[in-house]
A and B are shown apart, each in its own frame.
Chain A
Amino acid sequence: MKEYVYFPGCSLEKIALSYHLSTLETTKALGIKLKELEDWNCCGATAYFHVDELLAYTLVARNLAMAEKEGSEIVAPCSACYKNMYFTNVHLNEDPDLAEFINEALHEDNLTFTGKMNVKHLIELFADDVGPEEIKNKVIHPLDGLRVAAYYGCQILRPRKDHEDVEQPHYFEELMSAIGATPVDFPLRLTCCGGSLLITSRPAAYSMINNLLHNAQLAQADVIVTACPLCQVNLECYQQQVNQEFGTQYSIPVFYFTQLIGLALGIPPKKLGFGKEFLSPKKAIEAIKNIHSQEEVISQ
């Protein structure tokens, strides 16, 4: 059984609880063991880096140093946590002076960063480590007929981490095909949801959300599927406000990819956190022709 250190991040504690629940359920079903990092602290989102870079590196390095004691690979479901951990790890490895300076601070918590951790996003675990083929073999209820807009967003891909394709990625669509869903042609799949501009520059964020929803609607997507809590909240929880602002009538549910994979693996919807949405998943689930537990979802 493959084991990873799991860094849920602040969003998954509550606002993205369904992501957390569905992550735990689906990984268990695929024979992966996630061990939650004990006493982890916030990754800093973008705010620490606005204020002080050294502070930002220190706070991220604390998590990495604690993780080093537990295993060799750490996985984050949130794109911002992932990006921060990934690049802090890279920069501290490249710059021994910086690492030494930060280690002095970490010693206050009896920790040392050595830089041996491998940082991964949760979706990489499904797309690379398990792979669509194996997931396909475990599918019990293929999501036939469900048209999904696979939405990558920004920080999973950018800045470029390794040699991955940042302009034409396809692993997300492959995962969706593996569970029987139909990935639609969604040209804005790599375009930003607005992120924290929703708070700091609301008109700009609303227009960015509007563009994405419009694009998904044109593609006749039943649902948008995401791998980031901020994308989910922006696209789903503010759909009504965007409708008010632009005179539109969007009603497109936004799920986490783990929720859909979980459904296909035959995990009961309640265990995957369905029912915490602002927009009822009913219409989307009705589109799934084969699903046996359909009744249960609709009744929620």
Chain B
Amino acid sequence: MATKPTFSTEVANLLHAAEGNPLETCIQCGTCSGSCPVAKYMDQTPRRIIAMVNAGMKDEVLKTNTFWYCASCYQCTVRCPSGIDIAEAMYALKRYTMWKNQYKEGLVGPTFSETFVKTIVRSGRSYEPLLAPTYIFSYGIREFFNEALNATNLMLKGRIPILPPRIKRLENFRRMIAHIIPIGGIE
């Protein structure tokens, strides 16, 4: 009879190019948390998250903002004495929560990433003005105006394009994407 994989194995399976389960080699030294520039804003530090994953505390892990607050600076990854690609594990947790549609309420990250990908699938290139609605309404009134002011300044300095850019061979591009993910689902 097949046994259900542990939460730690599930996460490790989402790590590309990893052999075995690297998370289980964690020695809890805390180098990651000590190196992380965002740790103080996280619900749980990277070290604790790894321990919680290994302990099978799935619901508790998925409820934290930790991995969505990872800025992908890879300081933890290059310093981990056990060679765990911790930033990549944070990506794995992000994908896990995206697929399960189960993440801490009020986070901007998941919606932003999704909209970003949709923009690329549609046109092949990124376009800032289409991304703004995913986050600007989550801000307080002062930040809302700050952001609008910044956008205006960028526009005046010629740093935001008026029209969204798009690639030329868009038809081929979209057929290519459809090979990987059901494109109907993303629109």
Q: CB within 8 Å of B: which residues of A?
A: 10, 13-17, 39-42, 44-55, 58-59, 62, 91, 94-95, 102, 104-106, 108-110, 154-155, 157-160, 166-167, 190-192, 194-197, 199-204, 207-208, 211, 237-238, 241, 244, 276-278
- Distance in Å from the Cβ of B183 to the closest Cβ of chain A? 10
A selection of 14 A-B contacts at a CB cut-off of 8 Å is A41-B125, A45-B126, A58-B176, A58-B180, A108-B172, A154-B72, A154-B73, A154-B74, A158-B73, A158-B75, A196-B71, A197-B38, A201-B109, A241-B150
The listed residue (B120, B160, B177, B180) touching A15 by CB distance below 8 A is: B160
Is B37 located at the chain interface by the 8 A CB criterion?
yes
Residue of A nearest to B155 (CB): A14
CA distance A200 to B42 in the complex (A): 13
Is B6 located at the chain interface by the 8 A CB criterion?
no
Measured between beta carbons, the chain A residues less than 8 angstroms from B78 are: 157-160, 166-167
CA distance A117 to B30 in the complex (A): 37
Among A54, A191, A197, max chain B CB count under 10 A is at A197
CA distance A107 to B152 in the complex (A): 42
The listed residue (A104, A194, A200, A276) touching B112 by CB distance below 8 A is: A200
A40 and B167 in contact, given A154-B72, A199-B135 (Cβ under 8 angstroms): yes
Measured between beta carbons, the chain A residues less than 8 angstroms from B37 are: 191-192, 208, 211
Decide: B180 and A54 in contact? CB cutoff 8 A. yes
CA distance A154 to B169 in the complex (A): 33
Decide: B126 and A42 in contact? CB cutoff 8 A. yes
Decide: B159 and A105 in contact? CB cutoff 8 A. no
Given contacts A44-B120, A47-B112, A53-B95, 10 further A-B contacts (CB under 8 A): A10-B126, A42-B124, A50-B91, A94-B17, A154-B74, A155-B73, A197-B71, A200-B68, A201-B65, A208-B37
For residues 47 through 91 of chain B, which have their beta carbon under 8 Å from a beta carbon of chain A?
65, 68-69, 71-75, 77-78, 85, 87, 91
Q: CB within 8 Å of A: which residues of B?
A: 14, 16-17, 37-38, 41, 65, 68-69, 71-75, 77-78, 85, 87, 91, 94-95, 98, 107-110, 112-114, 116-117, 120, 124-128, 131, 135, 139, 143, 146, 150, 153-154, 157-161, 165, 167-169, 172-173, 175-181
Measured between beta carbons, the chain B residues less than 8 angstroms from A241 are: 143, 146, 150
